[in-house]
Structure 1
Amino acid sequence: MTVAPVPALDSLAGLAFGDAFGDRWFGILRREGAEALEARTLPDEPVWRWTDDTAQALVLVRELAEGEGAVDQDRFARRLAEEYAADTHRGYGASMHDVLRRIGAGEPWHALVSAQFEGMGSWGNGAAMRVAPLGAWHAADLDTAMEQAARQSAVSHHHPEAAAGAVAVAVAA
């Protein structure tokens, strides 16, 4: 197993803090409505909770460490499903609940994600939200960063625009 490079861990930390900070504000919107958000009313609770984006980024960094910087799509899909099963209340998108449960039950990930949304696949932003540490990991080799970003995207977000978003974030990181 490879040790994650410091830039990848720094990126992961930044992602986690930003995710938890942002979720505090989304929580206000959910609980108290747009008025509280527009008034910039600070959340009462002192707890910062991270979401599925950080949960999946942690899985991705572990995958990169075990794969020596490469994503094994089958193993990554299983790991995403395991992480989901361990804590289903991190803010996963509606379609991801179904997909990750079914992957966890042994259904092939490729068939599931490519069949989503009438065969177009998900073009949501989840693959882009988790990918920054991968970009930092491969900062010295942008071709590899792009290739691995697209590989990790395909496991949950089959649509080409989702992959393009993940590649853009990885290269920016």
Structure 2
Amino acid sequence: MASDPLTRATASLYGLALGDALGSQFFVPANREALTTRTLPPGPWQWTDDTEMACSVYRLLADRGLVDQDALAASFAAHHDFDRGYGPATGRMLRLVREGGDWRALASGLFDGNGSWGN
């Protein structure tokens, strides 16, 4: 394995994107047989919000060498794609951030300030 952190991060992102896209296909009712028979579902496969958000983390690490929370929230909001499977609360929050809302206040107001326990 390469020792360069960015090369390792790139490989990790590719693995995440592929696993995410494959796994998301098993939430499609028409692909249930593929899961049962352990065969690949037909393409094309779409990645989910998990990969979309990981791309923002990757880009910040590649460009800056660190993750700045404000820049990360702005990137999440800028790259939010409704069709990637974000939960409704997260989708609304990212829209509000895009419109100028404070991500800290918006995030702490969700789920009684406890987080979503899974997102």
TM-score range, shorter chain: 0.7 to 0.9
Q: TM-score, normalised by structure 2?
A: 0.84
> Displacement, 1:95?
1.3
Q: How many residues align?
A: 116
Q: Mapping of 1:126-141 within 5 angstroms?
A: 126=119
Comparing both chains, which one has the higher relative contact order based on Cα–Cα distances under 8 Å and sequence gaps of 6 or more?
A: 1
- Separation in 2 of the partners of 1:67 and 1:76? 11
Deviation readout 1:124-159 (Å, 9 max, x if unpaired)? 2x3xxxxxxxxxxxxxxxxxxxxxxxxxxxxxxxxx
Runs of 4+ in structure 1 over 6 Å off: none
> Displacement, 1:120?
1.8
Aligned position for 2:86: 92
Aligned position for 1:23: 24
Q: Which amino acid aligns with 1:112?
A: L
Q: Mapping of 1:133-152 within 5 angstroms?
A: none
Q: Which amino acid aligns with 1:13?
A: Y
Gap regions ≥5 residues in structure 1: 127-173
Aligned position for 2:56: 59
Deviation readout 1:61-117 (Å, 9 max, x if unpaired)? 00112221x111111101100000xx2100111211111111111110011111111
Gap regions ≥5 residues in structure 2: none
- Separation in 1 of the partners of 2:87 and 2:76? 14
In the alignment, does 2:72 pair up with 1:71?
no
Q: TM-score, normalised by structure 1?
A: 0.59
SS in 2 for 1:121: coil
- Separation in 2 of the partners of 1:90 and 1:18? 15
